[in-house]
Amino acid sequence: MEKLRIAVIPLVRSTFDVNEGTRVFKEQINILQNIDTNTDWIFPTSTIEYVENLKSFYRTIQKEPVDGIILLSATFHLGDLALHISRDFPTVPIMCWAVPEPPYNGGRVRLNSLVGAHLDFSNLYRAGRNDLIFAYGYANDPDFSKKLLNWLMALRAIKTLKNCKIGLLGGRARSFVNVDVYEPELYKELGVLVEPILLEELFNFSVDKEELENEIQKYTNLYKLVASLDKEKLEKVARLKIMLEKLYKISKVHALAIRCWPEFANYYGISPCAAMSSNMAEGRIMACEGDVLGALTMVIFKAIGCEEFYLADISQIFETGHLLLWHCGVAAHNLWDQRSERHLDTYFAGGKGVTAGFVLKPGTVTLARLDYIRNHWILFVYETEAIQTDQELKGTYVKVAAKNPVKFVESLIEKGFAHHIVMAYGSYSSTLKTLAQLKGWGVYDSNC
């Protein structure tokens, strides 16, 4: 997880109770340092009233870039402070923080913090800043700390994506125009680079006998092997798993988007599904069918602390209020429900499929996809439950709940989203929505 540097700048005006504002500032800093220990909190020794006071603190935060700035409205203050900070740090996301008013002293408003933060946010927003967030409360208030942690996680995702490289192995799948990506726009928006990789580069890796035998044994221990999976196919699966792992490491990518058909089955002899599944279980992100933005969505989940996710199709609608999330065998084997049988099968691609097969575990899940549709970035996000599912199919799959599954699918399709979504275990919708707010993305949160 990325370590952050966050600058906290306490702003005041001497016509208000600066002593109380300074006390609040110091108290809140102590709490912040305990809320997120994976963040370096950078702050001045005293509150700041004038633009001139900012200059010495600038030297501190310009030595090493900061990932976010919190403007703490310790008392009401003039709006030029925030405007100068915004001008000097035009790409650093800003939180405008207001604290509650303390008891009145002689009939006077002592801090007027809320108005100061409101002024800052309004000024910055009208001046064109989109990467803003407003927060109210003390640092140890549950609602405030939740909002703060969501903001910090969103900043971690932004920082990860600025240095992100996704390998596009073999290109996208044939006719899948909807998972194509315009690379200059992706780099402009997020700093993400896409590196094309020829399939021949993968197939040219050598694998020594000992590591191959070890990998074969792992598959044998994990899965029941169907009769059609002969020794040659099993060896190809194990070899491909190792080759993909080597390519991932040598290319220094955050994820691989793989054109998994038809070339693998036609020229290598098997499809890569089971080999991708094993790599996913070991923390290497791999997306089917050359889906770069599907891979990127999984990178985002990992950046915000999720380790369990799965790229899937919405394959079926049930009258019981459920959807089937299915793909032909790429889910990480550590997502297994521990009830179904885990098997390797060859049921598609003319017997060259070699896919993992099992049911995924139940639990709270977040469905999401970042997509680029008609020149706009849009994030789909929906929290629901994966339910215990009987094993009736080949491949990897699970059912998830939806209040109105037909309307859910209709609306998702009619918004133009690609046919792959990511299912991640855990509750991440608030963090994803915060990320979208900071980036100015549209958000589609189905209430179906």
**What does the pLDDT look like over 25-69, one tens digit per residue?**
999 999 999 998 899 999 999 999 999 888 888 888 888 889 999
Is the pLDDT assigned to residue 306 strictly greater than 90?
A: yes
Domain CATH code at residue 407: 3.40.275.10
Q: What is the pLDDT of residues 364-405, one digit of tens each?
A: 999 999 999 999 999 999 999 999 999 999 999 999 999 999
Same domain for 180 and 325?
A: yes
Same domain for 101 and 201?
A: no
Same domain for 430 and 286?
A: yes
Q: Contacts by 226-231 with C-beta closer than 8 Å and gap 24+?
A: 226/343, 226/344, 226/345, 226/346, 228/345, 228/346, 228/351, 229/344, 229/345, 229/346, 229/354
Same domain for 331 and 261?
A: yes
The answer to whether 300 and 407 have CB atoms below 8 angstroms apart is no
Predicted pLDDT of residue 385: 98
Same domain for 402 and 275?
A: yes
Same domain for 131 and 145?
A: yes
- Among 116, 132, 161, where does a domain finish? 161
- Among 128, 161, 194, where does a domain finish? 161
Task: Please give the Cα distance from 288 to 121 (Å, whole number).
Answer: 42
The answer to whether 288 and 312 have CB atoms below 8 angstroms apart is no
The answer to whether 67 and 159 have CB atoms below 8 angstroms apart is yes
Number of domains in the chain: 2
Same domain for 438 and 360?
A: yes
Task: Please give the Cα distance from 70 to 8 (Å, whole number).
Answer: 5
C-alpha angle 7-5-156 in degrees, rounded to nearest 5:
120
Task: Please give the Cα distance from 272 to 6 (Å, whole number).
Answer: 42
Same domain for 139 and 245?
A: no
Same domain for 174 and 133?
A: no
Same domain for 145 and 172?
A: no
Task: Please give the Cα distance from 187 to 214 (Å, whole number).
Answer: 40
The answer to whether 391 and 341 have CB atoms below 8 angstroms apart is yes
Same domain for 116 and 223?
A: no
Same domain for 224 and 105?
A: no
Average pLDDT of the chain to the nearest whole number: 95
Task: Please give the Cα distance from 55 to 34 (Å, whole number).
Answer: 28
Work out the average pLDDT over 315-325.
96
> Which domain covers residue 31, as residue numbers?
4-161
Predicted pLDDT of residue 447: 62
Domain CATH code at residue 133: 3.40.50.1070
Q: What is the pTM of this model?
A: 0.95
- Among 118, 134, 161, where does a domain finish? 161
Q: What share of the chain is helix, strand, coil (3-state, %, to 5)?
A: 40, 25, 35
Task: Please give the Cα distance from 121 to 416 (Å, whole number).
Answer: 33
- Other beta carbons less than 10 A from residue 359's beta carbon: 26
DSSP-H helix ranges across 63-104: 80-88
